[in-house]
Structure 1
C-alpha cells in the first residue's frame, strides 16, 4: 500500500531524478504533509510524501528524519504495523537530534503496544524518559510521560500512572500544541477511568473533548469522544452518551481509523444493551467482532461474546448462548496470557534496567580498585565489600520483582471479591472492609456512618419486565450509588436487591445531601420499566463509641425495616425519635 515512497527513493538512489527541488521547497511541502497527517485522512498526506520521496537526496538530514517519521505513522494507520516498526528501528539506529529521537521512541512505543510486544514497549518508553535532560525547553517531554501513564495504568500501577499523567499535562500546557494537550488530557482521563475514579475521569474527558475539538485531529478527537460517551453511559446519562457516540463515529469514520471504530462500537454496544436495544446491539457486535479478534483485543472480545450470549438467552436461543459463552471463556484465557506477558515484560524491563545500573556501578568500582591495588593490598577488602554490596543490591532487585508479582496476585484476588453483576464489593468483602473502617474510626475517634438500602418492590420489576430488566436495574442502581459516593466511602451489594455503604468522617448534613442525590439519581434510571420508577428505602446508623460492627449493622437493619413498614421510599435514622 505504501510502496510508492520506497520505489521513488530507490529510483533516486540509482540516478533517476525528477526536477530539482530546493531544501526550502522540500521543507514547505513536508510541513504541508505534516499538517495533513493530523487534519485529513492519512492517504492525503501519503500522496504528498510519495511526491517528496524522489527529492530526498536534496533534503537535509533533519528533513529526511521527519519525512520517515511521517511515513511510519501512515504505515501504522494503514495497518502495516511491522513496516512502521521497521522504518522506526532503522531511523533509531542512526544519528538524530534528541527531540527527533524522542518522537521516534514515542511512535515505536505506540506501535509495539498495538502489536502486543510489551517488553519492547516498556524499553522504548524508558529510553524516551531517559532523554528528559537532553530536550531543550522541555519540548516533547510530555510524550514519554503520557505513554508511561497509559502503560502503567494497563499493568495496574495506578498511582504511578496518575503521577506521570499529570506531569505530561503540565508540560503540554506549558510547551505543547493544542493537539498535544488533546492527547495528554485524553490519556489522563483513561488513567482515572481504569483506576475506578469515575467522577475525576469524567471531568478530564470533558476537558479533553473541549481541547480536541480545537485541534482539528479527527482521529484523536473521535477516540476520546468515544471514551467520554462510554463514561456518560456508565453514569446513566444515556441521551448524552448517544449524542457523544454519534459525534465520535463521524470523526473516526472520517479518519478511517479501524481500531478506534472497533473500540467505539464495543462501547456503543454497552449502551444499546443497557437501554434494551438488544437486536441492534447484536448486529453491531457481529459486525465488530472480527476486527476485535484480528486486533487481539481479548478483553473486548470476551465482553462482546458475553453480551451476545445474554441477547441469545433473552431470545430463547440457549444453544447459541452457550456457544458464545464458550468463546468468551476462550477469549478470557487469551486475555490472561496477554496480561501475564505484559506484566512479565514490565517486571523484566524494570529488573534489567536496575541490573544494568548495578553492573555499571560495579564495573566502575572494580576498575578503580584495580588502579589502587598496585599501591596497597588493602583494596582487597574494598573489593570484597563491593561484591557484598552488589549481592545485596541484586537481592533488593529480586525482592522488588517478587513484590510486583505479589501485587499481580493481589489484583486477581480483588476481582474475586467483587459482585459479578454490579462490579462493586460483594457481601463478604464489604463487611470485611466495614470492620476495618470501624476499627480505624474508633482508634482515630472520628465518625462512621453505615447506610443499608433496599430497592422497593423489586419483585414487581422481575415479575413484570423479566430478569434481564431486573439485572439492568441492579447495575443501574450500583452505578448511580457508586458515581456519587464521596472519596473514602465503601459500597457493596450485600443481598439480592440490598446495597450498603460505609462513610468515614461524614456529618449528618452531608449524609442527608448524599441520600437525596442518590434518590434523585434512582428516579432517572432507565431499565426498561418506564411506568415503575425505581425507589429505595434506607436505614442509617452512626457508630457509637466502642460499638461492634454487628451492633451497628443491626441498628441500620432495624432502621431499614422501619422505613419499609412506614411505606417505603424513605430514609430512617437509627437514633431518630
Structure 2
C-alpha cells in the first residue's frame, strides 16, 4: 500500500499559507508566524476543504506585503495542498520555486520545495521521490530547522519502507522521533508513532507493530483527529489481514471507511481496498470484487488507480476465488507490469504463487511451473533480504547499546576520578577510599562488558536460527548447504536435498488458530529431526517449508529418508480432528551442477509435482 496521504497534513500543514498569491498591504509578521506554527503543529485543524479555506483567509490577512522570505515560504508550502491531486502541476511549480529559492539562498524554502517535489513523485516514481527527500533532508540540515529535519527523515523513511528496506526505514523514523522529542514537538512525535508501527508491520513483527499502532489510534481519538485515526486504523487492518484474522481486519477497515466518508475519495478508495483484502481472507470473492470495483472508482482521482497494482492483484485473487481463472490471469498480468515498474518485490512474490494456481486450473502447466520457479527465486531473495533487515535491526540495537555502554563507562570513569581527587585533597587516609572506588569502577566496567558480550552472542544466535522451531533458518541452512555442496564436489561424494512442505497448512491456521499452527510447526520440526541421521542438517526455509541436507547420500537412500520423514509427520497426533501431512521433493547432485541452487531448484520442482500428484507423497527429481 502507498504511504497514506494523511502524512502530508502533518508534514506540510504549513502549506495552507500558500493558496493566496497576494496579501493586503496591512499584515503582521508576528501574527503570521504565530498562526503558521499553530497550523504546522496541528493546533489549527486543516483536515477538510472548509478548514483549509478558513485557515487560508486568516493567513492571507496576516502576510506582510514585501516580505520576501515569508513570501517564499508562502509559495514553497503551496505545493502541499493546492496540487494534492495534480502531481504534474506540483512538479512544475516546485521546479520554478526551487530556482527562485536557490537564487535567494533560502535553504528553508529549498527544503520545502524538495519535499513537495518528492511527494508529487510518490504516485509514479518512488526512486525519484526518495532522491528528492534525501536532497531536502541535506538542505534542512544546513538550515538547522528541527521540524524540517524530522519531517525529512519521516518522508525518506516512508519511501524506504515502501521499497522493503524496513530496518533503514525504522532507523529514519527513530531518528525523527529523537529530533521531535528534543525540540518538544509533541504533535509530530505522536504522529510518528504510526510510521514506526507501520515499519514493524512490514517486517512481520506484528506484536510490536500493534503496540505502536494502537497507541497512535488512542492519541488520534483523544485529539479527535480523524486523518490520524484513519491512518492508524488502515495499518491495524493490514496487520490483522496479514495474520489471517479476517474478522478483525474487516471490523477495523469498516471503521476506517466510516471515517473516510468525512474525507476525500482517495481515503475511501484505500479503505475499500483494505476491505477487499479482508473479504479475501474471509474467503468471500464476491464481496471482495464488489469492494475493489468501488475502490477503483474512488482512486480515479489524479490517475491514482492507474498506478496502483494492488487493485488488479486483489481483483485477480477475487476472480480466481470465483473460478474465473482466465480473467484472473489477465488481471494478474496487469498487476505484474505495474509491480515491475515500481519494483514491488514484496507483492510480486505473492502474485507468482497465486497466478500459478490459476494457470494450473486452466491446464497451462508450463506457465504454472514458470511462475512457481519465479516464486521460489523471488521468495529466496526476499527471505535473504528479510534476514538481512533483521540483522541490520539487531546491529542497530547492538550499536546503540554499545554507545550507551561507552557513555556509561566514561561517566563512571569521570565520576570515579573526581571522587578520588576530592578524597586525596581532603586527607591522606582517604586514599583507601579512592582505591576502593577504583576497584568498584573496574568491577562495574567488567560487568557491563560481560553483559554486552553475552548480548552480542545472543544476537548472533538469533540471526542464524528460527525462533519458533529452534532449527536453522533459511540463511543458515543455505550456508550449511553451500558448505556441504563444496565438500561433496571436493570429495567426489553425492549430496542429496529434500524440500518439504506441509499440505494445506493455511487451513490449519484458519480452522484451529495460529497458536495450534505454531504447535504443529514445532512438533513437525521435532519429528523431522528425530527421523534424520546425525550427519544430516535440517532447517526451516519458510512459513511451512523445510529443507533437509543429506551429505554422502545417493538417490535411492535419499528417497527412503524422505519417505521416513513423511511417515514421521503422518504419525503425529496433535489435536482431535487435525491430521498433518507433508509432501516432499528429492534431488541428488549431478556432475553438471555448479551451485547449490541447481540442486534446490530440482528439489522444488519435484515438490511441485508431488503437490500436483495429490500431496502426501515423495517425488524424486528426474
Is TM-score (shorter-chain normalized) higher than 0.5?
yes
Most deviating of 93-102 and 261-270:
93-102
Show the 5 A alignment for 1:337-416.
Answer: 337-374=384-421, 375=424, 376-398=434-456, 401=459, 404-405=462-463, 408-410=466-468
Q: Which has the higher contact order (CA 8 A, sep 6+)?
A: 1
CA distance in 2, matches of 1:382, 1:331: 54
Determine the structure 1 residue equivalent to 2:493.
none
How far does residue 296 in structure 1 lie from its aligned partner after superposition? 4.2
Gaps of 5+ in 2: 1-65, 425-433, 474-499, 523-574, 582-622
Determine the structure 2 residue equivalent to 1:43.
88
Q: 1:249 to 1:284 in 2, by over 3 A?
A: same
Contact 1:21 1:55 in 2 (8 A): no
Q: 1:403 to 1:64 in 2, by over 3 A?
A: same
Determine the structure 1 residue equivalent to 2:322.
275
Normalised by the length of structure 1, the TM-score is: 0.64
Determine the structure 1 residue equivalent to 2:148.
100
Contact 2:91 2:120 in 1 (8 A): yes
1:128-147, CA deviations, whole angstroms, 9 ceiling, x for partnerless residues?
Answer: 23245345472112332111
1:173 to 213, 217, 221: 221
Show the 5 A alignment for 1:352-501.
Answer: 352-374=399-421, 375=424, 376-398=434-456, 401=459, 404-405=462-463, 408-410=466-468, 419-420=504-505, 422=507, 424=509, 430=516, 494=579
Contact 2:509 2:517 in 1 (8 A): no
Query: Aligned with 1:378: secondary structure?
Result: helix
1:92-133, CA deviations, whole angstroms, 9 ceiling, x for partnerless residues?
Answer: 533444333332221111122233434421211221232453
Q: 1:249 to 1:217 in 2, by over 3 A?
A: closer
Contact 2:247 2:278 in 1 (8 A): no
How far does residue 381 in structure 1 lie from its aligned partner after superposition? 0.6
Determine the structure 1 residue equivalent to 2:584.
none
1:124 to 126, 148, 172: 172
Q: 1:248 to 1:341 in 2, by over 3 A?
A: farther
Show the 5 A alignment for 1:217-232.
Answer: 218=266, 220-232=267-279
Gaps of 5+ in 1: 1-19, 437-489, 497-577
Determine the structure 1 residue equivalent to 2:237.
189
Determine the structure 2 residue equivalent to 1:263.
310
Contact 1:223 1:260 in 2 (8 A): no
CA distance in 2, matches of 1:416, 1:146: 36
Determine the structure 2 residue equivalent to 1:68.
114
2:97 to 13, 31, 52: 52
Q: 1:217 to 1:167 in 2, by over 3 A?
A: farther
Determine the structure 2 residue equivalent to 1:550.
none
Query: Aligned with 2:363: secondary structure?
Result: coil
Contact 1:135 1:141 in 2 (8 A): no
1:372-404, CA deviations, whole angstroms, 9 ceiling, x for partnerless residues?
Answer: 444333332133123213213303532652575
Say whether 1:33 aligns with 2:79. Answer: yes
CA distance in 1, matches of 2:105, 2:230: 31
Most deviating of 135-144 and 309-318:
135-144
Q: 1:241 to 1:95 in 2, by over 3 A?
A: same
Query: Aligned with 1:304: secondary structure?
Result: helix
Q: 1:216 to 1:25 in 2, by over 3 A?
A: farther
Contact 2:133 2:152 in 1 (8 A): no
Contact 2:256 2:271 in 1 (8 A): yes
Contact 1:37 1:70 in 2 (8 A): no
CA distance in 2, matches of 1:251, 1:163: 31
Determine the structure 2 residue equivalent to 1:484.
none
Say whether 1:312 aligns with 2:312. Answer: no
1:211 to 250, 254, 259: 259
Determine the structure 1 residue equivalent to 2:373.
326
Normalised by the length of structure 2, the TM-score is: 0.60
Say whether 1:161 aligns with 2:195. Answer: no
Q: 1:355 to 1:340 in 2, by over 3 A?
A: same
CA distance in 1, matches of 2:288, 2:318: 8
CA distance in 1, matches of 2:504, 2:518: 14
Determine the structure 2 residue equivalent to 1:199.
247
CA distance in 2, matches of 1:431, 1:111: 34
Q: 1:86 to 1:432 in 2, by over 3 A?
A: closer
Q: 1:131 to 1:351 in 2, by over 3 A?
A: same
CA distance in 2, matches of 1:431, 1:328: 23
Query: Aligned with 2:435: secondary structure?
Result: coil
How far does residue 170 in structure 1 lie from its aligned partner after superposition? 2.1
Q: 1:424 to 1:279 in 2, by over 3 A?
A: same
Contact 1:153 1:194 in 2 (8 A): no
